[in-house]
Amino acid sequence: MTSERKKSSEEASMVKKKDRILTGMRPTGPLHLWHYVGALENWVKLQEKYDCHFLIADYQALGDYSNDISKIRDSVIEVTMDWLSVGLDPYKTTFIIQSYVPEHAELAMLLSMIIPKGMIDRNPTLKAESALQKDVSLGFYNYPASQVADILLPKANLVPVGEDQLPHIELTREIARKFNRMYGHIFPIPTGLVGRVPRLVGIDGKAKMSKSLGNCIYLSDTREIVEKKVKQMFTDPTRLKATDLGHIEGNVVFTYLDAFHSDATEQENLKKKYTEGKIGDGEVKSILTKLLNALLGPIRERRAYYQVHPEAVREALFEGTEKAKKVAAATMLEVREAMKITGYEDIKNIKKIIEKYSYEE
Ligand code: TRP
């Protein structure tokens, strides 16, 4: 080894290993503004400091769309395009297709043996989601267990998620502790990390932005579509003309301005003018449209690049998935050894067990 190379490898071993992040999304359609302010905006920053693993949870998506797998297949690519477009950088982070790393399913199965059923029954997020389904499948019911496996497989330390996912993180912590206690210390106890905007209403003012409610602004929407959607937003129903005193509370346009305005003082001024009847709805909407299009501008540019470079999309997916496969295999080896689900191929073991169970006449 040249002295220079030796030096750099010494330096590398001195640098503290970066904490690992794992988080993911179900591929069930194109991503929208809530995904951005609730998650992606934060992920883009986190990738600079952490060893980030971002999972496209297509196995988990089967819990919602086992009857429409082509939708999941399309969405895997759509989500990847959205991730790349917002600036997630496959050279810094690891993109993973869940179904291509079968260890996810294997660890989920093993862990589900030590997850008390009652813990799943009491999971408030699962309860709320199950209420929306007609026939809840066993696979869907078990998805919190699969999520525990997603997080523990790469031994993640941090899990950035929306508020609704916190019960799954709590479950992960309990099960990691239990596993470590029962079989030996393998897993770090991960911590959840909630984003800047835990919830964003849809353009119709309904509780949340959601594809099934048809109230989304997508990251892939054109300038014109964004303008049209902002025009449709509810403002203050009591206000008939611009000089009427306006209300901020429950006003969808202002909810969005709060989430997207980067200049707090200007935002306060705007609210003041609005409540004093000094600015019209149209003007406020055009400010919001400009802000959103400024945010989406660079996202659209990156998307245009990847649209004509599909091979780069493939590379992002597969380089990451290959890396994750190695990490997964290493963890599963440890898990099998810890649980003693191993050694059947060893002739010494075979002999020992035969002896143990053979009785002399
Ligand atoms: N449940 C998450 C969602 O609905 C996706 C997901 C799968 C996830 N595995 C995960 C999130 C692990 C955080 C950690 O989008």
Please give the average per-residue pLDDT across 90-115, as a whole number.
Answer: 98
* Cross-sheet strand order for the sheet of 20-25: 94-97, 51-56, 20-25, 158-161, 191-194
- The residues, any chain, with a CB within 8 Å of residue 160's CB and separated by 6 or more, are 21, 23, 39, 42, 43, 46, 192, 193, 194, 195
Tens digits of per-residue pLDDT, 113-143? Answer: 999 999 999 999 999 999 988 889 999 999 9
Q: Could you tell me if 251 and 282 are in contact, meaning their C-beta atoms sit under 8 angstroms apart?
A: no
CA distance 23 to 192: 10
Which of 20, 22, 25 for a ligand 1 pocket mutation test, highest count of atoms within 8 Å of Cβ?
Answer: 25
Please give the average per-residue pLDDT across 275-288, as a whole number.
Answer: 95
Evaluate if pTM is beyond 0.95.
no
Q: Could you tell me if 51 and 92 are in contact, meaning their C-beta atoms sit under 8 angstroms apart?
A: no
Q: Could you tell me if 104 and 328 are in contact, meaning their C-beta atoms sit under 8 angstroms apart?
A: yes
| Two tokens, residue 4 | 């220079």
Please give the average per-residue pLDDT across 272-280, as a whole number.
Answer: 94
- Return the pLDDT at 151: 98
Smallest CA separation from ligand 1 atom 10, residue: 24
pLDDT of 1 > 50? The answer is no
pLDDT of 61 > 80? The answer is yes
Give the DSSP per-residue string, 170-232.
HHHHHHHHHHHHHH-S-----EEEE-S-S----TT--SS--GGGT---BTT--HHHHHHHHHH
Tens digits of per-residue pLDDT, 6-38? Answer: 555 555 555 678 999 999 999 999 999 999 999
- Return the pLDDT at 75: 98
Tens digits of per-residue pLDDT, 193-219? Answer: 988 887 899 999 987 898 888 999 999
| Two tokens, residue 54 | 């971002």
Smallest CA separation from ligand 1 atom 2, residue: 25
Smallest CA separation from ligand 1 atom 6, residue: 24
- Return the pLDDT at 358: 87
Query: How far is the centre of ligand 1, averaged over its atoms, from the C-alpha of 217 (Å)?
Result: 21
| Two tokens, residue 61 | 């998506």
